[in-house]
Amino acid sequence: MSVRVWIDDRAADELETYHAVLADLGAISDESDRSIGVFTHSPECLPDADSVWISPHDTAAGDPWLTAGGVIIESKITDGSYAEDWLRRRGSTVRVRSRSGSDLDPAVFAAFLAHDFPPLDALMLARAYRGRGWPDDLSDYPVPVDAPKCKASFPEFPRNAGLYAVVPTAEWVRRLADLNVPVVQLRDKLQDPDAAARGIAVAVRAVEGKATKLFINDHWKLAIEHGAYGVHLGQEDIETADLNAIGNAGLRLGTSTHGYYEMLRAHACRPSYMALGAVYPTATKRMPTCPQGLRRLKHYVRLMSPHYPLVAIGGIDRSRLEDVWATGVDGAAVLRAIVDAADYRAAATELLAQTPEACLAGRPA
């Protein structure tokens, strides 16, 4: 299996630049089996999903392409040293600005598509690429133009946090606090506001005097009101929440991310930690992206770990935990591995015993 890329109806692997970049990046994974078309002139046919047209000659010419499900990337050079790229899909536009005085190189972009990254992340990687292996310097990456703004700073979240349990009720918070699970997130998407307020108040009381750190999903106002340890927000929520109020109240902030663009977008508000996922397929919630897998997770850790504690999330259970820890993340989030277990105490205890710190503590001196 492989991702095959065509540039203007010519196989990308016929191009010298494409070969040079792939040689620099290393082996391509065999996780997908599909073809992607990249066009720098007017395509003669409508696109397949994720086919990309770079710099159409005019906006109107690209409208049928977008309607059919294709992607358009337009680049504008500003001030001679910056490039602003506009990636458009039907109904949405994303803008990023990078320190580059040149147009996007289709062959470099195609090389990252061949590594099975979606067009937006392939754009981020292509702009960050400097010809020295995988782009692992955060300062080389483009800046999302619409990134959230926040003047407040957030308290630190500990490195090597360990097991991070996501649970649906305050009663589950109490149960896991009694077992000294280090981090618990209360996530209940179904409660009405009054019930949510009562549940958060109970959850905060449940961790008083315990080692467990409690994060509240979404309900940032109630988290501030009841004095939770922190708040966890998705990409959409960081646009609407008052991030300054959260930081000024002394709460930690965790953010969900699903790839390079969203990590760079979250980086703009300097959260306490980033969650990376979904690593594996998950039935817990509907995900906006395909599972990231361990290969991508390793790349994300290499880029972001020098700057933030990182929590892997999505489809993680006991059988997958060792591989997840091997990527270098600071925390591993689980939900069904505990909540759906026949014996939650035994399940939590086994998961706690698999954390890197627990394994090190159990080794003979």
Q: Which residues of 251-282 are buried (b: 16+ CB within 10 A; e: fewer)?
A: bbbbbbbbbbbbbbbbbebebbbbbbbbbbeb
Name the phi and psi angles at 189, rounded to 5. -85, -5
Rounded Cα distance, 352 and 349, in Å: 5
Residue tagged 């003047």 (tokens): 151
Which DSSP string corresponds to 260-276? HHHHHHHHTT--SEEEE
> Strand runs (DSSP E) across 122-193, as ranges?
143-144, 162-167, 183-186
Q: Residue 185's beta-bridge partner residues?
A: 166, 215
Taking the C-alpha atoms of residue 352 and residue 157, their distance in angstroms, rounded to an integer, is 19
Q: How far apart are CA 107 and CA 105, in angstroms?
A: 6
Model pLDDT for residues 62-116, shown as the tens digit of each residue: 889 999 999 999 999 887 789 999 999 999 999 999 998 889 999 999 999 999 9
162-361, CATH topology level: TIM Barrel (3.20.20)
pTM for this predicted structure: 0.95
Q: What is the pLDDT along the chain (365 residues), one digit of tens a residue?
A: 478 899 998 999 899 999 999 999 988 876 778 889 999 998 888 888 779 999 998 777 888 999 999 999 999 988 778 999 999 999 999 999 999 888 999 999 999 999 999 999 999 999 999 999 999 999 999 999 999 989 999 999 999 999 999 999 999 999 999 999 999 999 988 778 899 999 999 999 999 999 999 999 999 999 999 999 999 999 999 999 999 999 999 999 999 999 999 999 999 999 999 999 999 998 776 666 789 999 999 999 999 999 999 999 999 999 999 999 999 999 999 999 999 999 999 999 999 999 998 876 765 54
Could you tell me the two tokens for 270? 């300097």
Bridge pairing between strands 143-144 and 92-98:
antiparallel
Phi and psi angles of residue 270, each rounded to the nearest 5 degrees, phi first: 50, 65
N-term to C-term CA, the chain: 46
How is residue 95 written in tokens? 């803008």
320-365 residue pLDDT tens: 999 999 999 999 999 999 999 999 999 999 999 999 988 767 655 4
Cβ contacts of residue 131 below 8 Å, gap of 6+? 21, 24
Residues 30, 300, 160, 286: is their CA dihedral positive or negative? negative
- Is the Cα dihedral 96, 102, 106, 109 positive or negative? negative
How many CB atoms neighbour CB 213 within 10 A?
20
The residues pairing with 216 across neighbouring beta strands, listed in sequence order, are 186, 231
Domain ranges of the chain: 3-144, 162-361
